[in-house]
Amino acid sequence: MAAAQKVGCDLKRFCYGALLLLTMSALRAETFYLTIAGLGGEPEYEQRFAGWASDLDKTFKSEPSSQVTTLSGAQATRAAIQTRLTELAKQTKADDHLVLLLIGHGSFDESDYKFNIPGPDITATELASLLDKIPAQQVVIDMTSASGGALPILQKPKRIVITATKAGTEKNATVFPRYFIEALRDPAADADKNEVITALEAFRYAEGKTAKFYEDLKRLATEHALLEDAGKGEGVKAPTVENGEGLLAGRFALLHTGSAVAMAKDPEKQKLLKQKETLEEKIDELKYRKASMPVAEYREQLGKFLVDLAKTQEALDK
């Protein structure tokens, strides 16, 4: 009996010790966020991409145990990207998380995808090579035009890849980033109500909102978001158990909503966020009507929207 009790006590101590180590390991784990906003090419896109990057920077900095790096505008060079990813290869551990987000324009030449940044562009092949050296668990969220062309190159077992388009041939500017960012502050995105927004939840929210955007405009969608986390295949717009996609993404915590929605709970900030979304939607609608409008009228309306958007972003950044 005494021997059995001793074994029981030893087992309890072992289980307690294992649980303690697991808890300590989880507490030590960090999330590293790297947001890169590339070239806009036109004033409205330069302003929009910088604004989105700023929104993400503020949101991620509210997350406990996080390290946030944002490269935007002139800072988002190939050398700067290479330097930061090389640093992350040395800084991160296997139980850390890396969230890489690309905002802007991309291109695809039937062979490789390129992310458009100041100076020489960086290719999906180069990004994949740098990411392969990083031990952290990874989600790559490429929200640029033509991003679907990057998916076959970036995909790898145990890496989650999300793209705003289903192919490199979908070359129009994307609205997917707007709704992906919205998912990080909208409690509705937290489908299971556990106060954590996973990569899968954010993808489903943004994919659905993007589809509705084109439906409301009564326009043929020029972007079709995909998720791939099995390390093979073409990616899917509706991850399920049946198609084998979404398992990793459903476990990957992007953000804890307690901190993420703090700004959205502020009535004034909430009003500004809604105002910003409305202005961005108006700019998108205007661009669709550009061909049927006098040039002067288009420029006048666009200029007004951009001024209003800049003022709204400035208020949000305070």
pLDDT band at 263 (very low <50, low <70, confident <90, very high): low
CA 37 to chain CA centroid, Å, is: 11
The pLDDT of residue 22: 35
Please name the residue ranges forming H helices in the chain: 2-28, 43-61, 78-91, 124-131, 151-154, 176-183, 199-217, 257-260, 262-265, 267-289, 295-317
* DSSP code string of 62-85: TSTTEEEEEEEGGG--HHHHHHHH
Terminal C-alpha separation, the chain: 68
Name the DSSP letter for residue 188: G
Summarised one tens digit per residue, pLDDT across range 145-189 is 999 999 999 999 999 999 999 999 999 999 999 999 999 999 899
Summarised one tens digit per residue, pLDDT across range 86-120 is 999 999 999 999 999 999 999 999 899 999 999 99
The pLDDT of residue 16: 36
Class of domain 29-265: alpha beta
Higher local confidence (pLDDT), 317 or 119: 119
Hey, CA dihedral for 293, 295, 297, 299, is it positive or negative? positive
Instruction: List the Cα angle 81/87/88 in 5-degree steps.
Output: 90
Name the token pair of 257: 């909503």
Query: Between the CA of residue 105 and those of 11, 146, 177, 186, 274, what are the distances in Å?
Result: 57, 8, 12, 26, 25
